[in-house]
């Protein structure tokens, strides 16, 4: 590393000697010069960056030490990406970083914010270094800006992608967990629904229920919606349709645990209450279902 720095220093000197010819120097050489500058001033620039981060009140979910550690690795990856002009490593790092910090509630604007701050800190140091040579400063910035923009882009996109991946994964998990169709007795199914029902989930619920009726040869189904706080008109209509479709399969549906809000919605959309069999709570619903199926549950002894 030190060797390369020396080499770069030499180039810098030679560049200074032939300032007029330097128009023709390749942007990659300028980048190399830039990188060596950033490496030499690593400690100072990194400190400055960390100070700016805490001033801007970004990454408040993390401790000072953590910010410093992350800042160090981000700084190094940043310089490396500038040097090699390959962004895969940085992308991988951004994804890895996102994986670690997303669960701690770090927001997109914070991640974008710190990368933009670093970009700013580095640009300022370039201004300071080349303030006497305006032409050179211009060319250095020409080389620096596109690369820096790409880095900012890469990190932001990496973060957002990771976030979306997490969200998709969670949605899938919820979807799988959320619609169990359980047999509690022969020919009796219960379908506990918890959480928010969107039209897509409602459709899935209906499909699973109707298929469950077929495979379990169910006669009575208790749909418990105690865990559903509210329902919009579309979903309420869908629920009514599900009840009717179940009847076409020869099964009776009992809906339990309607909240006052949902009751209000159902009344507002003018559901024919003769078609809806409703009972206050799940226990009552199961008892009613047992009566319909001809079960009689008796306690044989006092509980010990």
Partner 1 sequence: MEVPILKQGTVLIATFQAALSDADLNQLRMGLVQQVVKFRSRAVIVDVTAMDVMDSFASRTLREIAHMIRLRGAETVIVGIQPEVAFAMVQLGLTLEDVTTALDLEEGLAYLNEKFKNTH
Nearest distance from C-beta of residue 188 to partner 1, angstroms: 14
From the list 253, 237, 173, the residue with the least C-alpha distance to 203 is 237
> Which of 75, 73, 68, 61 has its CA nearest to residue 97?
73
Q: At what angle do helices 108-129 and 64-84 cross, to 10 degrees?
A: 60
Closest approach, Cβ 245 to partner 1, in A, equals 4
Query: In angstroms, what is the minimal distance from the CB of 272 to partner 1?
Result: 9
In this structure, how many other beta carbons lie within 10 angstroms of the beta carbon of residue 302?
5
**Closer CB to partner 1, 91 or 206, in the complex:** 206
Give the interface with partner 1 as residue ranges (CB under 8 A).
206-207, 210-211, 213-214, 217, 219, 241-242, 244-251, 275
Closer residue to partner 1 in complex, CB, 94/213: 213
Nearer to partner 1, 38 or 222 (CB): 222
213 vs 279, beta carbon nearer partner 1: 213
Q: How far is 46 from 76, CA to CA, in rounded Å? A: 10
Minimum CB separation of residue 210 from partner 1 in Å reads 3
Shortest distance (Å) from residue 292 CB to partner 1: 13
Q: What is the dihedral of CA 223, 228, 234, 240, to 10 degrees?
A: 20
* φ/ψ bin of 117: left (φ > 0), alpha (ψ from -120 to 50), beta (otherwise): alpha
Of residues 137 and 249, the one with the C-beta less far from partner 1: 249
Which residue, 188, 209, 190, is CA-closest to 290?
Answer: 188
């Amino acid at each position: 590393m030190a060797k390369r720095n020396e080499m770069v220093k030499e180039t810098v000197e030679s560049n200074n000697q032939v300032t007029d010819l330097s128009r023709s120097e390749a942007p990659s050489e300028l980048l190399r010069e830039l990188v060596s500058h950033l490496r030499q001033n690593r400690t100072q620039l990194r400190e400055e960056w960390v100070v700016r981060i805490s001033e801007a009140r970004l990454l408040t979910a993390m401790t000072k030490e953590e910010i410093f550690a992350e800042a160090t690795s981000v700084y190094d990856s940043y310089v490396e990406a500038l040097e090699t002009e390959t962004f895969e490593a940085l992308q991988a790092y951004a994804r890895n970083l996102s994986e670690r910090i997303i669960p701690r509630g770090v927001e997109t604007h914070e991640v974008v914010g710190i990368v933009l701050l670093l970009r700013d800190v580095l640009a300022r140091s370039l201004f300071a270094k080349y303030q006497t040579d305006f032409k050179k400063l211009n060319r250095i910035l020409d080389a620096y800006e596109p690369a820096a923009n790409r880095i900012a882009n890469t990190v932001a996109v990496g973060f957002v992608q990771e976030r979306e991946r997490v969200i998709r994964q969670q949605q899938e998990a919820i979807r799988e967990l959320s619609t169990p169709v359980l047999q509690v007795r022969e020919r009796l199914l219960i379908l506990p629904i918890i959480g928010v029902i969107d039209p897509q989930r409602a459709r899935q619920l209906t499909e699973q229920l109707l298929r469950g009726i077929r495979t379990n040869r169910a006669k009575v189904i208790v749909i418990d919606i105690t865990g559903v706080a509210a329902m919009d008109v579309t979903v309420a209509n869908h629920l009514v349709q599900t009840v009717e479709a179940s009847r076409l399969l020869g099964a009776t549906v009992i809906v339990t645990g309607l909240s006052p809000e949902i009751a209000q919605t159902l009344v507002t959309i003018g559901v024919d209450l003769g078609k809806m069999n409703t009972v206050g709570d799940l226990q009552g619903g199961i008892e009613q279902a047992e009566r319909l199926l001809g079960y009689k549950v008796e306690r044989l002894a006092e509980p010990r």
